[in-house]
Amino acid sequence: MLEVLAQAVINGLLIGGVYALVSIGVTLIFGVVKIVNFAQGEFVMIGMYISFFLASSLGVDPVLSLLISMPTLFAIGVLLQHFLIRRVLALGDMPQIFLTFALSLLLMNVALLLFTANYRTVQTAYSEMSFHIGPLYFAVAKLIAFVIAMLLSAILYIFLHGTDLGKAMRAAAQNREVAMLMGINPDRVFSVAVGVALALAGAAGSLLMPFYPAYPLVGQVFVLMAFVAVVLGTLGNITGALIASLMMGVAESLGVQFVGADSGLIVVFVMLLLTLALRPNGLFGGWAR
Amino acid sequence: MKKSKRELGAKRLGAKRLGRRDFLVKSGALAAGAVAAFNIRTAAAADTVNIGGLYPVTGSFAQIGQGCVNAAKLAVQMVNDAGGIKSLGGAKLNLIVSDVQSDPTVTRTETDRLISGYKPAAIHGAFASALTLIASEVAERAKVPLLTGSSSDQLNKDRHFTFTPFSRASQFALAQLQMSKLVSDQPKVAVIFENTAFGTSTSNGLREQAPAQGVEIVLFEPYSAGLSDASPLMNKVKASGANMLFPVSYLNDLILIIRAIKQVDLKIAINGGSGGFVIPDFYRNVGNTAEGLLGVAHWNHDINDNAQRVNAAYQKQFGEFLFEYAGGLVAQTFMIADALERAASTEPQKVRDALAALDVSEGYAAMCPGGKVKFGPDGKNIYAHPVGVQWQHGDLATVFPKEDARAQLIKA
């Protein structure tokens, strides 16, 4: 029984790492730019396709291909901020919601058109491998994804707390007007924030590719969990999103194990409801609010 | 009236161009004759019979839906190339495809739109049982016959315009249980199924019939379709001590499940049933890991010569073998053609009556396991049964039951 429990926790943590990459991106954009990016899952999808095509045509290992998917998505993020998001920032909530929601629909349908609805998988040497410690096993592909996800989160944390640009981003998140008065250029800061958020989605895509099939609607699988994690971990709080994602991965896994495989998400949503009822600002009332 | 006007037109045209009286008379008569003949021929050619195809071409079932549409077009082309519907003056079938988008609400409106907009003589569709149940409700109300390969037993309850030429979910279950004894004398089965109409009806069939077949079910677990991670589920299967796994799932979940089984290092025989398990995409995605896995299907491309012939044509055009659902709907198209032929009418009610009286044992309409089609009062083909299949060398070979087997079962 104990090993079943331990295994469930391991499984949950490993997939939680992937949820974290998606949710940190969402929370970063919300924290800094104050806009909810409903299209975040679609950028994961784009990351997956980048890795898929690099793997299938050039034989690049999907994990290595994040060196390409991340910069590509960073660039897309900067362009997205500059040409689209910037224009709706002054217009209030509705146009912002419509913009990213429409972008999500657009990207899904363009992907359907370009790539068809077929599932694409990459077979790597480690796709189906796992290593065992006693009775427990760790799926290699998921472990790699988890470790790199944690590394990227740590790098982001250091960037936000240790560099001028990072500090400027946090300042802009705390109070846009005051930050501008202090000479921070919000356009630049916002572009970097959106770029970084999309780069994380791209990384998530590349890291998923060895064990998850890519298809045009794949983003929807992960974005729901990401949004719950963002709310649970307090909107705009990056550490909160990270911890909440891991918690949700574990809650889902335990839910599947001990409640029922069709109710794994029930545990997650009960957690969300309780949190909203008891701590409406999320578990980690952090710097963004 | 129409003809005489055209004659006049032809004469006037001739007069202007040539201006010679005798020539005018001859050419005018000739032209009129040509116009008249042409009229008759176009009238015949323009006489087409609309039949509807409801398939999810976008959304989560899209890659299967697209295969269905390809097969439906091929089938219509085959009927038309063979001379169309002779009792209707060689009328050609005209396939109207409607995208039901893997969405129940869209399915309802699209079925409605298809029926009211195109007045089809009959409809086939819609792959997923959850969608077909809705399409069938709409078709029943509009009194338009619907043929479907969907397996939900509910499609045979209180319906008069719905016909199911292939085996039902309960029959799939029986075949799957019987096959488990090919693998082990004491099968201990874990059933994991997506909580959809397809998943629950298939798995309930398994649970109800297991005791009579001497099969013990040690885990019976619904899950929500669209897994993000299958390892928690496989953890549960491992803990159950099962030696045989029945996943009732579509493709994306299956890929995750099969991979997770490898990762858990679970030594377990797998019978994936039908759905996403018996399509070329499954092998493309899972690769060698698929070798030796078992499944059941209401149709397979090796069941008889006609099936192999259609499969060859499909393979040539689309580069992959003709899968269960798509192959079945080729047969359905020929059943509709057969009914139209006998009804000599495109009136849905008459086509329905002709379908109800269908009794074929040869040709493409009978291209089913068992080779015969005759509908009972509940719309079930009384001869239908599923076949057991196994992935062998990247192809799907029929291995069960004995009388249908086209290849030896490979034991792991």
**Could you tell me if B377 and B392 are in contact, meaning their C-beta atoms sit under 8 angstroms apart?**
no
By Cβ distance, the residue of B66, B228, B236 closest to A261 is B236
Q: What is the pLDDT of residues B270-319, one digit of tens each?
A: 998 887 788 888 898 888 888 999 999 999 999 999 999 999 999 999 99
Distances from the Cα of A259 to the Cα of A8, A275, B412, angstroms: 12, 20, 34
By Cβ distance, the residue of A137, A220, A253 closest to B263 is A137
Judgement on whether residues B349 and B365 belong to the same structural domain of the protein = yes
* Average pLDDT of the residues in A228-241: 89
- Least trusted range by pLDDT, from A157-161, A285-289, B143-147: A285-289
Q: What is the pLDDT of residues A38-62, one digit of tens each?
A: 999 999 999 999 999 999 999 999 9
Alpha carbon distance B30, B251 (integer Å):
63
- For an interface test with B, the pick among A45, A108, A121, A228 (most B C-beta atoms closer than 10 Å) comes out as A121
Lookup result for tokens 């009792």: B87
Handedness of CA A62, A63, A68, A73 (dihedral sign): positive
Helix ranges, A92-237 (H): 93-115, 140-162, 164-174, 176-181, 186-208, 219-232
Distances from the Cα of B234 to the Cα of A91, A259, B261, B270, angstroms: 48, 15, 6, 13
Task: Label residue A157 by pLDDT band (50, 70, 90).
Answer: very high
Q: Which of B125, B120, B121 is nearest to B68 (CA)?
A: B125
Q: Is the pLDDT of residue B33 over 70?
A: no
Alpha carbon distance B333, B78 (integer Å):
10
Q: Which pLDDT value is given to residue B228? A: 86
**Could you tell me if B233 and B227 are in contact, meaning their C-beta atoms sit under 8 angstroms apart?**
yes
Q: Estimate to the nearest angstrom the gap between the alpha carbon of B309 and the chain centroid.
A: 17
Q: Cβ separation of A217 and B59 shorter than 8 Å?
A: yes
DSSP element (H, E) containing B50 = strand B48-55
In single-letter form, the type of residue at position B271 comes to N
Alpha carbon distance A7, B231 (integer Å):
9
**Could you tell me if A229 and A244 are in contact, meaning their C-beta atoms sit under 8 angstroms apart?**
yes
Q: Is the pLDDT of residue A275 over 90?
A: no
Chain A neighbors of B59, CB-CB under 8 A = 117, 217
Q: Which CATH number characterizes residue B137's domain?
A: 3.40.50.2300
User: How is residue B272 written in tokens?
Assistant: 């994936």
DSSP element (H, E) containing A130 = strand A130-133
**Could you tell me if A26 and A270 are in contact, meaning their C-beta atoms sit under 8 angstroms apart?**
no
Which chain A residue shows the shortest CA-CA distance from B192?
A: A261
CB contacts < 8 A, A to B, total 110
Asked if residue B361 is part of any domain, the answer here is yes
Which chain B residue shows the shortest CA-CA distance from A262?
A: B223
**Could you tell me if B328 and B361 are in contact, meaning their C-beta atoms sit under 8 angstroms apart?**
no
Burial bucket for residue A235 (CB in 10 Å: 0-12, 13-18, 19+): buried
Q: Which pLDDT value is given to residue A256? A: 87
Q: What is the pLDDT of residues A21-33, one digit of tens each?
A: 999 999 999 988 8
Judgement on whether residues B375 and B396 belong to the same structural domain of the protein = no
* Average pLDDT of the residues in A6-34: 92
Task: Specify the pTM.
Answer: 0.75
* Average pLDDT of the residues in A245-256: 91
Taking the Cβ of residue A217 and every Cβ of chain B, the question of whether any pair is shorter than 8 Å is answered with yes
Q: Cβ separation of B224 and A119 shorter than 8 Å?
A: no
Q: Which pLDDT value is given to residue B321? A: 94
In single-letter form, the type of residue at position B241 comes to G
Task: Give the DSSP per-residue string, B104-148.
Answer: HHHHHHHHHHHHHHH--SEEEE-SSHHHHHHHHHHHHHHT--EE-
Q: Which pLDDT value is given to residue B412? A: 67
**Number of domains into which chain B is organized:** 3
Judgement on whether residues B103 and B159 belong to the same structural domain of the protein = yes
Q: Which pLDDT value is given to residue A64? A: 95
Q: Is the pLDDT of residue B199 over 90?
A: no
Chain B neighbors of A124, CB-CB under 8 A = none
Cross-sheet strand order for the sheet of B188-194: B216-223, B188-194, B244-248, B269-270
B411 or B326: which carries more pLDDT confidence? B326
Task: Label residue B14 by pLDDT band (50, 70, 90).
Answer: very low
* Average pLDDT of the residues in B2-29: 44
By Cβ distance, the residue of B229, B252, B263 closest to A215 is B252
Judgement on whether residues B273 and B337 belong to the same structural domain of the protein = no
Looking at residue B389, the DSSP 8-state letter turns out to be E
**Could you tell me if A249 and A15 are in contact, meaning their C-beta atoms sit under 8 angstroms apart?**
yes
Task: Label residue B252 by pLDDT band (50, 70, 90).
Answer: confident
User: How is residue A1 written in tokens?
Assistant: 């029984």
ipTM summary value: 0.80
In single-letter form, the type of residue at position A240 comes to G
Q: Which of B172, B368, B168 is nearest to B271 (CA)?
A: B172
Distances from the Cα of B279 to the Cα of B97, B150, B359, angstroms: 21, 15, 29
Which chain B residue shows the shortest CA-CA distance from A255?
A: B232
**Could you tell me if B151 and B201 are in contact, meaning their C-beta atoms sit under 8 angstroms apart?**
yes
B193: which strand partners? B222, B248
Q: Is the pLDDT of residue B30 over 80?
A: no
Chain A neighbors of B226, CB-CB under 8 A = 220-221
Q: What is the pLDDT of residues B153-182, one digit of tens each?
A: 899 999 999 999 999 888 888 999 999 988
Asked if residue B211 is part of any domain, the answer here is yes
Burial bucket for residue B178 (CB in 10 Å: 0-12, 13-18, 19+): middle
Q: Estimate to the nearest angstrom the gap between the alpha carbon of B306 and the chain centroid.
A: 16
A108 three-class SS: helix
Judgement on whether residues B137 and B191 belong to the same structural domain of the protein = no
Buried b (16+ CB within 10 A) or exposed e, B312-326: eebeeebebbbbbbb
E strands within B144-301?
Answer: 146-147, 162-163, 188-194, 216-223, 244-248, 269-270, 294-297
Q: What is the pLDDT of residues B183-197, one digit of tens each?
A: 888 899 999 998 887
Asked if residue B22 is part of any domain, the answer here is yes
Judgement on whether residues B256 and B321 belong to the same structural domain of the protein = no
Q: Is the pLDDT of residue A288 over 90?
A: no
B386 three-class SS: coil
Judgement on whether residues B209 and B267 belong to the same structural domain of the protein = yes
Alpha carbon distance B328, B274 (integer Å):
13
Q: Which residues 6+ apart lie within 8 Å of B235 measured at CB? A: A4, A7, A8, A11, A253, A256, A257, B264
Task: Label residue B22 by pLDDT band (50, 70, 90).
Answer: low
In single-letter form, the type of residue at position B394 comes to G
Judgement on whether residues B162 and B308 belong to the same structural domain of the protein = yes
DSSP element (H, E) containing B369 = none
* Average pLDDT of the residues in B368-391: 95
Distances from the Cα of B161 to the Cα of A208, A251, B124, B196, B269, angstroms: 46, 47, 11, 24, 40
* Average pLDDT of the residues in B91-115: 94
A107 or A275: which carries more pLDDT confidence? A107
Q: What is the pLDDT of residues B131-160, one digit of tens each?
A: 999 999 999 999 999 999 998 889 999 999
Alpha carbon distance B118, A99 (integer Å):
37
Q: Is the pLDDT of residue A209 over 90?
A: yes
Q: Which of B297, B227, B237 is nearest to B263 (CA)?
A: B237
B213: containing domain = 170-297+388-400
Judgement on whether residues B184 and B239 belong to the same structural domain of the protein = yes
* Average pLDDT of the residues in B81-97: 95
**Could you tell me if A288 and A173 are in contact, meaning their C-beta atoms sit under 8 angstroms apart?**
yes
Asked if residue B271 is part of any domain, the answer here is yes
Peptide bond into B197 cis (omega under 30): no
Alpha carbon distance B226, A200 (integer Å):
23
Asked if residue B308 is part of any domain, the answer here is yes
Task: Label residue B36 by pLDDT band (50, 70, 90).
Answer: very low
Average pLDDT, chain A: 90
Distance from CA of B277 to the nearest CA of A (A): 13
Alpha carbon distance B222, A92 (integer Å):
43
**Could you tell me if B76 and B333 are in contact, meaning their C-beta atoms sit under 8 angstroms apart?**
yes
Q: Which of A198, A195, A197, A193 is nearest to A168 (CA)?
A: A193
Judgement on whether residues B370 and B226 belong to the same structural domain of the protein = no
Average pLDDT, chain B: 86
Q: Is the pLDDT of residue B15 over 80?
A: no
Q: Which pLDDT value is given to residue B53? A: 96
Judgement on whether residues B25 and B121 belong to the same structural domain of the protein = no
Q: Cβ separation of A116 and B63 shorter than 8 Å?
A: yes
Q: Is the pLDDT of residue B212 over 50?
A: yes
Judgement on whether residues B355 and B274 belong to the same structural domain of the protein = no
Task: Give the DSSP per-residue string, A30-45.
Answer: HHHH----TTHHHHHH
Taking the Cβ of residue A130 and every Cβ of chain B, the question of whether any pair is shorter than 8 Å is answered with yes
B397: which strand partners? B390
Q: Cβ separation of B235 and A118 shorter than 8 Å?
A: no
In single-letter form, the type of residue at position B186 comes to Q
* Average pLDDT of the residues in A258-275: 83
B369 or A284: which carries more pLDDT confidence? B369
Asked if residue B406 is part of any domain, the answer here is no
Q: Is the pLDDT of residue B26 over 70?
A: no
